[in-house]
Amino acid sequence: MGVIMKYIAVVAAMAAQASAIAVSGAAEGFAKGVTGGGSATPVYPSTTAELVSYLGDSSPRVIVLTKTFDFRNTEGTTTGTGCAPWGTASACQLAINQNNWCTNYQSSAPSVSVTYDNAGSLGITIASDKTILGSGSAGIIKGKGLRIVSGASNIIIQNIAVTDINPKYVWGGDAITIDNADMVWIDHVTTARIGRQHIVLGTDASKRVTISNSYINGVSDYSATCDGYHYWGILLDGSSDLVTLKGNYIYHTSGRAPKVTGNTLLHAVNNYWYSNSGHAFEIGSGGYVLAEGNVFQNIPTVVEAPISGQLFSSPDTTTNAKCSSYLGRSCVVNGFGSSGTFSQADTGFLSGFSGKNIASAAASTTVVSSVIANAGQGNL
């Protein structure tokens, strides 16, 4: 009987593990239908080398992270001459002279010595047909980001944290980079203490991307604004990009949260912006933003002026009815607390939503409690 009971216990444990590794929910919005690694047998990397290998190979994979993968000090360090564009106070970020950035654009800034971890400079390449899942709150990648580039497609990243990438230095590395890709879903991901961008979509087409239920944590000892509020939040700079930003918690930033430019159509819906010392949106030429059902709390400048692109800020119920022709429903008003103005109703770009997969929108009064309960790693 003892042997039978042990067998039952082993089977039960295996079943519990199997149930824990499934993707939770499904992507809404532009990346709807993404399948990642699908039904591939899960793999459990135990070393940084195994993780890099699984992420970059040509096989469909479900990759489960059950521990912290710390890349710091795995590729050595570099010491060189950088610059201090925002001063040398202890809370100010310094800059690596990447691609002669200091030399060409900050020649009047003081020169300083910089020592940074090489692993952070370039993220891990993720090939097509991959699902990356964290187990509970255990799946953490430190000191190195993730790169989805060179035509990669059909990728799910869910329930992990990416943290501690040379936070003292601009150009120290990005948490998640997408460039020349398609069908990418980033969900329940936490990013914190990043040198440059938490999430960046590069200048090549990233096509269809959904970023949902994620936590952009801008608290840092170093920032470009020298106040502990991270400036480089989300940069959407693609060519013909379709981005859904839904249910995210964007906290303690000071700018570029997000910056939208290039040729990017952004649907920002039911996100919670809280505590920003500068601006949230920056909308450059070629940036087209539909923002609805969001909450802005303690955001002094919701959108930086001037707006060079186009914005539909869902200002009131009458104006919001114009969305019906393109989304199949009226848009939802945003909510504000101790925040600046956000009222513009460009409609010429709304036709870009016609025929696309559109995320649903709840009333802004439900957003704060929902986002706090669900956003980020460990909140599936």
Cβ neighbours for 369, distance < 8 A, ≥ 6 positions apart: none
**Is residue 72 among the annotated active site residues?**
no
Identify whether the C-beta of residue 297 lies closer than 8 Å to the C-beta of residue 274: yes
d(CA 31, CA 269): 15
Helix (H, G, I), strand (E, B) or coil at 365: helix
How many CB atoms lie under 10 A from the CB of residue 39?
A: 8
Q: Write out 219-248 in H/E/C secondary structure.
A: ECCCECCCCCEECCCEEECCEEEEEEEECC
Residues, the chain, total? 380
Helix (H, G, I), strand (E, B) or coil at 50: helix
Q: Which two tokens stand for residue 90?
A: 């202890």
How many CB atoms lie under 10 A from the CB of residue 336?
A: 17
Query: For the chain, how far is it from start to end, CA to CA, in angstroms?
Result: 38
User: Which run of H or of E encompasses 73?
Assistant: none
How many CB atoms lie under 10 A from the CB of residue 74?
A: 14
Cβ neighbours for 344, distance < 8 A, ≥ 6 positions apart: 303, 307, 311, 312, 313, 315
DSSP-assigned letter for residue 345: B
Cβ neighbours for 179, distance < 8 A, ≥ 6 positions apart: 147, 148, 149, 201, 202, 203, 204, 206, 238
Q: Which of 72, 193, 256, 329 is catalytic?
A: 256
Identify whether the C-beta of residue 280 lies closer than 8 Å to the C-beta of residue 301: yes
Tell me whether residue 46 is exposed, middle or buried, using C-beta atoms within 10 angstroms of its C-beta: 0 to 12, 13 to 18, 19 or more: exposed
Which residue(s) pair with 193 in the sheet? none
DSSP-assigned letter for residue 180: E
Q: Which residues are known catalytic residues? A: 256
